[in-house]
Amino acid sequence: MSDAAWERRMSGGEVLRGRVRVRRGDFALDVAIEARPGGIVAVVGPNGAGKSTLLGALAGLLAVDDARITSGDRVLTDTAGGVHVGAERRSAVLLGQDALVFPHLSVRENVAFAPRAAGVRRAQARRSADEWLAAVGLDGFADRRPGQLSGGQRQRVALARALAARPSVLLLDEPFAQLDVRTAAELRDLVREQVRGTGAAAVLVTHDVVDALTLADHVLVLHDGVVVEEGTPLDVLTDPVHAFTAALAGLNLMAGTVVDDGERVLVGDDGPRLPLAGVVTAAGGEPVPGARAQLTFPPAAVSVVGVADRGWDSVVVDVEPGPAAVRVRTTGDVLVDLAPADAATLDLRLGAPLRLAVASSAARLRALPDA
């Protein structure tokens, strides 16, 4: 490719669309995903949900059973049509947990790698590398060896190297996971800014709710290979459907049956009765008595009440530091955040009984399909 052609080459501006089915023994992945230019789709889910498999398929590094992946009007994978564009011609760049900066090349040579591989002249590639290094805040680091950099700097080099390839698709696989909190925050800002600026379509695999909330404009929750819920980060995380999403959002989720015996309550599967008066009902309709439903509520909305008060009995399972002061895990994985004053006066030995109540105004009720 001539230097001028490289300069003219569109970077980004293409919608990434993928429908991917992969079967590996007992595991099956079946996902549809769409990422708009300049936007970031976060894929969250527990280990083994298929997140990395999805990225591998999008990058063209994995054999897929049944898939159609397109970037703009370029077909990258189409099993029905027998199309499989190799990883090196997809314009889909990976940025992983490990920066994987080439250890035998200088910082500048790392960033110039993609233009050089595309046939751009050395001088031009070096100039472009220096510009990208400036863009990620690494002015003056061009001649360093990767071994001389901190973890955050290496990840910046990896980002600059990825962007210098002018990718249409940016595949981010927990790129902030190994960084300290401050460095991760800086890199998040940089990634958001650069994805918007370059118009790449980005897919971000993450475990971190902060990534999803601060970066993504769309969230997919993957569980056992299928998308269990999706939407804007705010919708998904304030009104989670799936237990994993609730945990990610830091919410308690209690599934049970709605009962109306004078007052409407949710009888949890572990036995507790939670009054439903004043509870917000999620879109999807009011569950009728006898129907399955789930209640989500923040740990801070749970309080410890007296034995004669309305509430449910549970025991202390675990005690750990929490946002208020102390976070207590109780029966049925219900988390309770306690302020110092409360925590100090309560008996919080493991196995100690606690009577709990939830502030109904902070809880959301959602009807569930019948089991």
Partner 1 sequence: MTSAPGTVRAVRTGPGDVGGLGAPRLLWAPAALAVGLLVLPVVALVVRADWSSLLSDITSPAALAALRLSLLTSLVATAICVVLGVPLAVLLARASGWVSEVLRALVTLPLVLPPTVGGIALLYLLGRRGLLGQSLDAWFGIRLPFTTAAVVIAGAFVAMPFLVLGLEGALRTAGTQYEVVAATLGASRWTVLWRITLPLVAPGLVSGTVLCFARALGEFGATALFAGNTPGVTQTMPLAIYSAFNGAGVTQGAAVALSLLLVAAAIVVLLVARAWRPGRVG
Site residues (vs partner 1, CB under 8 A): 59, 61, 86-94, 96, 98, 100, 102-105, 113-114, 117-118, 145-147, 161-162, 165, 171
Minimum Å gap between C-beta 302 and partner 1 is 32
Q: Decide whether 95 or 354 has the Cβ nearer to partner 1.
A: 95
Minimum Å gap between C-beta 113 and partner 1 is 6
Q: Decide whether 101 or 190 has the Cβ nearer to partner 1.
A: 101
Q: Decide whether 114 or 219 has the Cβ nearer to partner 1.
A: 114
Minimum Å gap between C-beta 221 and partner 1 is 26
Range 63-76 burial, b when 16+ CB lie within 10 A, else e: ebeebbbbbbeeeb
Q: Decide whether 71 or 91 has the Cβ nearer to partner 1.
A: 91
Contact between 371 and 349 (Cβ < 8 Å): no
Q: Decide whether 147 or 351 has the Cβ nearer to partner 1.
A: 147
The rounded radius of gyration (Å) of the Cα atoms in the chain is 25
Pairing of strands 273-275, 312-321: unpaired
Range 136-174 burial, b when 16+ CB lie within 10 A, else e: bebeebbeeebeebeebbbbbbbbbbbbbbbbbbbbbbb
10 Å CB burial of residue 122 (0-12, 13-18, 19+) is exposed
Contact between 157 and 138 (Cβ < 8 Å): yes
Minimum Å gap between C-beta 81 and partner 1 is 23
Minimum Å gap between C-beta 88 and partner 1 is 5
Residues forming a β-bridge with 202: 40, 170
